[in-house]
């Protein structure tokens, strides 16, 4: 096998020839679908598979803009939900870190053409 045809990988994993990668990926996809058919109702399977593919994109460092813009509202809402009542210095520190994270997420979202923080949290609080 020529090195040009191989998909490089680290020493602990097998190098898969490029022409076999697609069929092996399809086999893995079929296994995921079978597992989802057993574990989830039919209308939930595609959501699980899409979530797995999203994680795959992050692992491969090939995250498309549409995935990022779809995840940003959820990330913002999560950070907002983690805020606590500021009754201690530690709680205030946590809220400040979360607020800074939310600011960075909103700034990133806006740089990608996103909009309206209230839409990210499902309406006004």
pLDDT band at 117; cut points 50, 70, 90: very low
Cα dihedral 44→47→48→49 (10° resolution): 120
Where is pLDDT greater, at 89 or 6?
A: 89
Domain boundary among 28, 63, 98: 63
* pLDDT at res. 14: 72
Residues 125 and 68 in one domain: yes
Residues 108 and 53 in one domain: no
* pLDDT at res. 16: 76
Quick one: tokens of 12? 């602990």
Q: Which candidate, 60, 89, 86, 77, places its Cα nearest to that of 121? A: 77
Residues 81 and 46 in one domain: no
Residues 68 and 49 in one domain: no
Residues 46 and 72 in one domain: no
Q: Are 114 and 69 in contact (CB under 8 A)?
A: yes
Question: What is the domain range of residue 26?
Answer: 1-63
Residues 38 and 89 in one domain: no
Residues 57 and 70 in one domain: no
pLDDT tens by residue, 33-46: 888 888 888 788 88
pLDDT band at 1; cut points 50, 70, 90: very low
* pLDDT at res. 6: 57
* pLDDT at res. 89: 96
Supply the pTM of this predicted model. 0.62
pLDDT tens by residue, 70-106: 899 999 999 999 999 999 999 999 999 999 999 999 9
Residues 15 and 69 in one domain: no
Domain boundary among 21, 47, 63: 63
pLDDT tens by residue, 21-36: 888 888 888 888 888 8
Residues 31 and 54 in one domain: yes
Task: Give the total number of structural domains in the chain.
Answer: 2
Parallel, antiparallel, or unpaired: how do β-strands 16-17 and 6-7 relate? antiparallel
């Amino acid at each position: 096998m020529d090195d040009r045809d191989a998909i490089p990988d680290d020493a602990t994993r097998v190098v898969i020839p490029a022409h076999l990668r697609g069929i092996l990926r399809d086999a893995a996809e079929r296994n995921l679908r079978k597992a989802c058919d057993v574990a989830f109702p039919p209308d939930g399977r595609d959501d699980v598979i899409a979530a797995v593919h999203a994680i795959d994109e992050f692992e491969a460092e090939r995250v498309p803009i549409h995935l990022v813009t779809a995840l940003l509202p959820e990330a913002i809402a999560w950070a907002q939900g983690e805020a606590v009542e500021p009754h201690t210095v530690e709680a205030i520190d946590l809220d400040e870190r979360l607020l800074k994270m939310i600011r960075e997420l909103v700034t990133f979202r806006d740089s990608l053409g996103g909009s309206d923080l209230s839409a990210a949290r499902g309406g006004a609080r």
